[in-house]
Structure 1
Amino acid sequence: MIRRPGFLAVAGDERAGLRVLIQEAGVDTDEITDLAKQAAGPVDIEDPFSSTDLSHLGLRNWQMPVMLRQAGPAPEPDMDVVRVRDEEHLEAAERAVIAGFELTRFEPHRAGEMFPMALLDEPGVDVYVARIDGEVAGACVTVVDNGLGSHYWVGTPAEFRSRGVGRAVMLGSLADLVDVPVTLTASRLGRPLYESLGFVAASPATWWSST
């Protein structure tokens, strides 16, 4: 974990790679550049301000909207959604996210590499899974901190898509977040779903990636 004025980074191995979150507009990019060049694996950088030029790194870049949902109730999901409390369901959630986001860097699968059991002990962090006939069909992670909630890794493997899994896991997790505003970053395909759940685009975030 690398904390600097203006950005936060996690430098992992050849599978996890480097992840950087820019936290101030116009941050000095010298150290980010050095970290990217020295990364053991893939590089992913998020700039929620869309104000930092990293084109010199030769990374692919695109924009996705940061979206906000005000505090308020959500309908009940129409399938089984549970909060993860054990290793078996956490591993199933991990597999669903890896498959849903096509994170081939984490294949062959190593249980606990992306979602270690310690994740469930982090204050404000929860993992949810949606199940069809008892089988985990989708998952997401939520974080509550400083009076705000956030969604991450809302993933559905290809074999379960177009069956309402994403909506169900969102609604199931929102049931525990009705008292706080909630944010997420939406892909182009995911945005219509989130808009139907009351999320509104707030600003564009720019992503830079070697993958």
Structure 2
Amino acid sequence: MTIIDLADLRSATANAAALWKALGDVRGCDVVQRPGFVGVGGDERAGLRIILQSPSPGADDVAELTELAKGWTRGPVLVEDSYGVVDMSAIGLEPRRLPVMIRRPGEALPPAALEVVRVEREEQLETAERIVVEGFPLSRFQPHRPRQAFPTALLGYDGVELFVVEKDGEPAGACLTVADGTVGGLYWVTTLPEFRSTGIGRALMHAVLGGLLKDLPVTLTSAKAGKPLYDSLGFTTITQSTWWSSP
């Protein structure tokens, strides 16, 4: 596996761990933090998320995360391995590859073509949550039930922000960001199906990259559909991450 810059990848995986620790905190999940990985285990909807944090995790860490994933019984299991150091096939998990990308501060982007609002109130949080659950989608949280995926305590959580974009007066897209002082992370950049191919994702990206995260390198893990947009905005691929998940 080719890695452009190991420091960039460490920053990206640390930012992802910060997101999942924040979600674990507000959802009341169990959090396991080791030098080689972070694990966040919740209820039947949330399941278990494990994020590798080192290109050379210790044998004890690998054994512990493997046993954690193997023995998990509450909901789905996902092991996010951007370093390509574990093989979860022996415990029945299946791999898929997703690009981890980074954009460095540079040329200013045009202002967003649509209104993008930072989420500050509970009703706005519920709107952002609904968009992500229905549009991304987060199938385990469907049908949408308020404050299950994004509990109210996420409002004001240090470093975590959510944004909603409207088109013709209707909520059309949303995303979540995590700024940890070193790098910014973008998560769940979502457009509702009825608004796709109308500039929603680009408006979100212009607003976030030109505002809150304008002075930071920004990382994300891209789905296939989103990669052309991220390429056009100056993101480059660090590596292909392997996501091991339950069938």
How far apart are residue 26 of structure 1 and its match?
4.0
Secondary structure of the corresponding residue to residue 40 of structure 2: strand
DSSP 3-state at the match of 1:190: helix
Contact 1:151 1:183 in 2 (8 A): yes
In the alignment, which residue of structure 2 is the partner of 1:40? 74
Residue in 1 that maps onto 2:25? none
- Matched residues, number: 211
Is 1:4 the counterpart of 2:38 in the alignment?
A: no
Per the TM alignment, residue 38 of structure 1 is displaced from its structure 2 partner at its CA by 2.0
- Residues 92-118 of structure 1 show CA distances to partners (whole Å, capped at 9, x for unaligned) of 111111112222211232211111221
1:161 and 1:43 mapped to 2: Cα distance? 29
Q: Which runs of 4+ in 1 moved over 4 A?
A: none
8 A Cα contact 2:100 2:237, kept in partner? yes
CA distance in structure 1 between the partners assigned to 2:237 and 2:184 by the alignment: 16
Q: Is 1:136 equivalent to 2:171 in the alignment?
A: yes
The DSSP-based 3-state class of the residue aligned with 1:95 is helix
Q: Does 1:117 align with 2:147?
A: no
The aligned residue for residue 71 of structure 1 is 105
1:101 is aligned to 136
CA distance in 1, matches of 2:137, 2:161: 22
Structure 2 CA distance for aligned equivalents of residues 22 and 39 of structure 1:
21
Give the 3-state SS of the residue equivalent to 1:189 in structure 2. Answer: helix
Q: Could you state the TM-score of these two structures normalised by the residue count of structure 1?
A: 0.94
TM-score by length of 2: 0.81
The match for 1:182 is 218
Among 16, 22, 25, the alignment partner of 2:55 is 25
Counterpart residue type for residue 103 of structure 1: L
Q: Which residue of 2 aligns with 1:160?
A: 195
SS of match in other structure, 2:83: coil
Partner of 2:3: none
Q: CA deviation at 1:151?
A: 0.4
Whether the 8 Å CA contact 2:165–2:200 is kept in 1: the answer is yes
1:14 aligns with 2:47: no
Q: Is the 8 A contact 1:68 1:199 kept in 2?
A: yes
Q: 2:91 aligns with which of 36, 57, 69?
A: 57
CA contact under 8 A between 1:18 and 1:39: conserved in structure 2?
A: no
Q: Which structure 1 segments of 5+ residues have no match?
A: none
Counterpart-to-counterpart distance in 1, 2:154 and 2:87: 33
Percent sequence identity over aligned pairs: 50
Which whole-Å CA distance do the structure 1 matches of 2:220 and 2:203 have between them?
Answer: 16
Over the aligned positions, Cα root-mean-square deviation in angstroms equals 1.4
Q: Name the aligned partner's letter for residue 87 of structure 1.
A: E
Give me the whole-angstrom Cα distance separating, in 1, the residues matched to 2:42 and 2:186.
22
> Greater share of helix residues, 1 or 2?
2
Amino acid at match of 1:54: M
